[in-house]
Amino acid sequence: MILDTCTVASPVGPLVLFARGDALVGLEFADAHARRDTLGRSLERHLGAFTTRDHADPAGAATRLARYFAGALDALDAQPVEPHGTPFQLEVWRALRTIPAGATLSYRGLARRIGRPAAVRAVGAANGANPIALFVPCHRVIAADGTLWGYGGGLERKRWLLAHEGAAFADRFPQGALALDAR
């Protein structure tokens, strides 16, 4: 199997894209070598052995990223994605795609959204295992108190992405200005 790949420059650092046909199967921050090794092993476990070939715009994802960073915050929404994981992870990742740009949701709120209110920690673990950052917007999940918590790309990137989208969160705004579901 051949996966199309490229590295895209972005305001949050270089992004490495992996696509199979018309669907994005992976996105990692180029400086996150340990995570990229984990992503490669995960892709191989789910897709089988693969090789990569350079492509200017794998599955159109590079073009969508350019539009997103230029201010078209909904540009990532139409990207076909093909994440690979457990049934529970896939359920969490589908729910992440329903959080619109500019909004945030607590881990507890996400657990409730998928009908598993007691699975807050498992939701956090699935969020952390997301193989297609940005397009499956795990950066939009924050702590119940509105603070930033956990992000494979680092909290500074998460803070930048949320600010880019105009999201309200406690690290940037007073507690009363939060736009999240902490119930």
Which residues participate in catalysis according to the annotation?
138
Measured in degrees and rounded to the nearest 5, phi and psi for residue 112 equal: -70, -40
What's the CA gap between 154 and 40, in Å, rounded?
20
Distances in Å between the Cα of 104 and the Cα atoms of 30, 98, 166 are: 25, 11, 10
* 31-40 CB contacts, 8 Å cutoff, 24+ apart: 32/152, 32/153, 35/152, 39/131
In whole angstroms, how far apart are CA 28 and each of 25, 46, 59? 10, 17, 15
How many C-beta atoms lie closer than 10 Å to residue 171's C-beta? 15
